[in-house]
Structure 1
């Protein structure tokens, strides 16, 4: 009987602290590496920074395209400049025009 009492006493003395340590370890692991833990939080912050950077890039690109589209409106186009640019891009000239050749490194545009 003495052995059984000693075994019960040892069990009563070790099981609650062991369960508490196991429960503390479980929650500690989840705080660090769980689905909503600190590592996941850091990952989410990194993804948020990337998303904000992508949004800024998209906004800048959108502004460039809006400026280009505004330049295509009828009131914004100068027909002489448009004609000059189109003919220089296509290397075309009329017979009554004087052509001034430029070197390869001297670009008009």
Structure 2
């Protein structure tokens, strides 16, 4: 599994921002096609938001693990397992973001 480094993630973030028009910054971030199904760009935005939310949750768990904040030894162990599972999802979301960003850019080039 390929991991995305910070520079690649920044490039993806920038590509998403550049691909959005002023209308896309409304309260409804997911674009839809004619049948009401989210477009690829809309799905990409939603996955990126999920990725960012998951990153925040992982950082909160890291804070607890690093500082041993008010957790029992068994809860500490469970948090480590939970963090590992969340990191797996985080990396899968990175792969999906990269793949979908490539699809969106190929579609827009045509």
Say whether the fold is shared (TM-score over 0.5): no
Structure with the bigger RCO (C-alpha within 8 Å, sep 6+) is 2
TM-score by length of 1: 0.35
Instruction: Tell which structure's C-alpha radius of gyration is larger.
Output: 1
